[in-house]
Structure 1
Amino acid sequence: MSAAALLAGVDEAGRGPLAGPVAVAAVILDPSRPIEGLADSKALSEPRREAVAPLIRGHALAWHLEWVDVAEIDRLNILHATLAGMARAVRALRPGPDLVLVDGNRLPPGLPCPARALVRGDAREPAIMAASILAKTARDALMRELDARYPGYGFARHMGYPTPEHLQALRRLGPCDAHRRSFAPVRAAMATPLLD
């Protein structure tokens, strides 16, 4: 890859939760505009992520955020839906990349250029770190909106992950439209009478 080649990092947030979409981000950083504070989004505090995200959006050569909704997750399964979202995010970048680095051990089909999967890439590659931060901050903001739309589940606290609080709310309230019907705890809640 030449010095002028454009490298895109790709990462997602929200594969493990029982509710809400997956957020996928693709980012091409500008080598002439370095961003201080890049790291794996999971290693940063929420205030730090929220401070770095607008710097990424303002300094990157290109970035795109793609949503993988609950219907697509339930139709394709979580892995294939996430990979499809990654491919869409990369294809939406303008300018397009010359090389894509994807966090994890699987590459999405249909990428427009060469790509490599990079295990723990969100701790090793700045462009993937940037994508990780954009995906995580966008998804957290959306889950806070879903918390207001569907009160009682605690989405703003657990972001849809299967915490004891969330599982108890599922048993008490049943699933809402934001829940992934293909996930076992949600299917179990649908088959069980609601708790009083």
Structure 2
Amino acid sequence: MQSKGQKSQRLMQEGLKFGQLKHRLVAGVDEVGRGPLAGDVVAAAVILDPTKPIKGLDDSKKLSEKQRLECLSRIEEDAICFAVARASVEEIDQINILRASLIAMARAVSALSTQPEFVYVDGNQLPKWKYASEAVVRGDATIAGIAAASIVAKVTRDREMIALESTYPGYGFAKHKGYPTPTHLAALKALGPCVLHRRSFAPVANVLK
């Protein structure tokens, strides 16, 4: 019997092979940062090279920081191309986090130096775009390209939030990356929101009342 990890790897490789049978250039796209109270939502798109399979790919949330960095190094070296894009805090507050996430993913795919013939999107909704595509629920655990995109997006966003800690001290962004941890909520109540905080999110809006 296969372990959960072996099954996950098998499913991801089958997903990659299935796409490559029909299309030469298959992209995976995912976003990170829908849940935080602060910071942009960041998306990444990746086109993997089927002749250079990358071991260890999985949903970025299941990997340790060390594993994510190791995978990122392999993606940077062996992927055909990848791109990162975002939707800003202002856009999130104006149009809501779901629509902002879809826009960020569309921007990431559009930014690829080599344009895909097919795109796998993590989740159950597709952006409005020209690409032949399929939404895959939990695709970051079953499609190699989406898993790679989730890793690129998470490492990128984590690094950005760590860097912003020095500009906006006191909130603990380097530790929680903007997610609503008890420490973050306490700091938000004590200090009030900064420009990174999403005013449309209830915990932030409640502080402003």
TM over 0.5: yes
Tell me the residue number matched to 1:133: 151
Tell me the residue number matched to 1:173: 191
Aligned-pair distance for 1:2?
6.0
Deviations 1:36-95 (A, max 9, x none): 211110110011101211211221111100021111111111000110111111112121
Moved over 6 A (4+): none
Distance 1:105 1:64, change over 3 A: same
Long gaps (5+) in structure 1? 192-196
TM superposition score normalised by structure 2:
0.88
Alignment of 1:38 onto 2:57: yes
Identical-pair percentage: 55
Tell me the residue number matched to 1:91: 110
Distance 1:134 1:2 in 2: 21
Tell me the residue number matched to 2:142: 124
Distance 2:44 2:99 in 1: 16
Q: How does 1:40-189 map to 2 (within 5 A)?
A: 40-110=59-129, 112-189=130-207
Aligned residues: 190
Q: Which amino acid aligns with 1:17?
A: P
Distance 1:2 1:148 in 2: 44
- Per residue, is there more helix in 1 or in 2? 2
